[in-house]
Amino acid sequence: MSAPSVIAEPVPAPIALAASRWRREPFRLFFPLGVLLAWVGVGHWVLYASGVTLTYPGRFHGLVQMQGFAMAFAVGFLLTALPRRTQTQPATYLELAALAVGLVVVTIAGMTERWVIAEAAYAGLLLLLIQFAVRRFLGRAAGRRPPAAFVLLPIAFLQGLVGAFLIATADIESMPLGSGLLGRLLVHQGVFLCLAMGVGSLVLPLMAGAPPPPDLGSTPRETWKAVAYAFAGLLIIVSLGLEHIGFLHSGPLLRGVVVAIGLGVGGGAWRRPARPGLHRQLVWVSAWLMPIGLIAAGLWPDYRLPALHILFIGGFSLMVFGVATHVVVSHLDMNDLAEGRPPVVIALAVLFTLALLARVVADFSATYMIHLGWAAGVWLLGSLLWLLFFGPKLLRR
């Protein structure tokens, strides 16, 4: 049995024939780029823990991971999925180049702490994605409309734009004290929690073998679902605001409950995937580690950072690589891997689990930096093995 594509509806034949494989399947470019950007954001911890460098990564690590690594995978997925859903033209070469350059600029500017340049490039990325989505969902040529949960996408992008502005202007004296911290909350959590719930409502059922969700507005039920998803997105923003003003318990707890309902009920994660395939199981696990990390951060705010790495490592990064694996094996007809336990996916699961455990226990040990170095090192090894295995396949015709 062949693996279901990331979007069930195929691109119409005239469009598919007219576009190159890079335009039809931008994940071929952006998934490897995302791994390379992740090495920049994570590799610094290995260098620092081993004494090679003397500078502390600070905010550079988190922002590069979310604005570089995670955003590259999001771009690759969305640029592949949206034209297939709407049966419209794929991205142009100019759009692909602009987005790729923007991701690189974000990372390099972050490395050199040129935050105005980094956040301007990040905002440019988001604006390009917004126009890309709007033109395909609202254009006359669109064959289908988005699912109800995709109302979370503009909410995610809005948080990214506001967060980028607050980070870029944080050092201006007229800005409110702590505005940069709020900006990082929006970028680190708000953007990808909304993307995970929005995209998860499409990906999780498809990976389980279910049909794609109906179009927004196709029935009154779908309209009410869109309203519910929009309300969930607003609650995410409210929870971030609550945490920023000092509600360190209720803010993350509210966010965890919203994400659990959004992915559990909306995405169908309340039940295990019916189809075999280790990568499907990993995506299902990651869907639950997201709210678990948030709830743990709310229950034990003194250990907020290790708890949030349950969200970042076990939630975001595991879901990113799990969904990316599904996209690759389904689009490249690697049916022998789609429903099995490929060694590379087993290694990824083991190494990411070790990275998560090392990072969580670091705060309880007397060798904090050594634990961080090991966590970064095994995470990098897992991503390297994934890229070595799938990278050549992404480049072939």
Q: Please give, one letter per residue, the 3-state secondary structure of 197-221.
A: HHHHHHHHHHHCCCCCCCCCCCCHH
- Supply φ then ψ for residue 355, to 5 degrees: -60, -40
Q: Which residue has the tokens 């498809």?
A: 206
Cα dihedral sign for 38, 43, 48, 50? positive
All residues at 6 or more sequence positions from 94 whose CB lies less than 8 Å from its CB, including other chains: none
The CA distance from 108 to 115, in Å, is: 10
The CA distance from 33 to 27, in Å, is: 9
Q: How many residues make up the chain in this entry?
A: 397
Select from 97, 101, 85 the least CA-distant residue to 37: 101
Is the separation of the CB atoms in 250 and 242 below 8 Å? yes
The CA distance from 144 to 298, in Å, is: 40
**Identity (one letter) of the amino acid at 108?**
I
pLDDT given for residue 57 in this prediction: 67
pLDDT given for residue 1 in this prediction: 43
Could you tell me the mean pLDDT of each successive run of 10 residues in the chain, 397 residues long?
48 54 94 97 90 79 94 96 88 96 96 93 96 82 81 96 96 85 96 96 83 84 94 98 96 98 92 90 96 98 96 97 94 84 96 97 92 96 97 88
Select from 240, 264, 266, 267 the least CA-distant residue to 253: 240
Is the separation of the CB atoms in 233 and 151 below 8 Å? yes
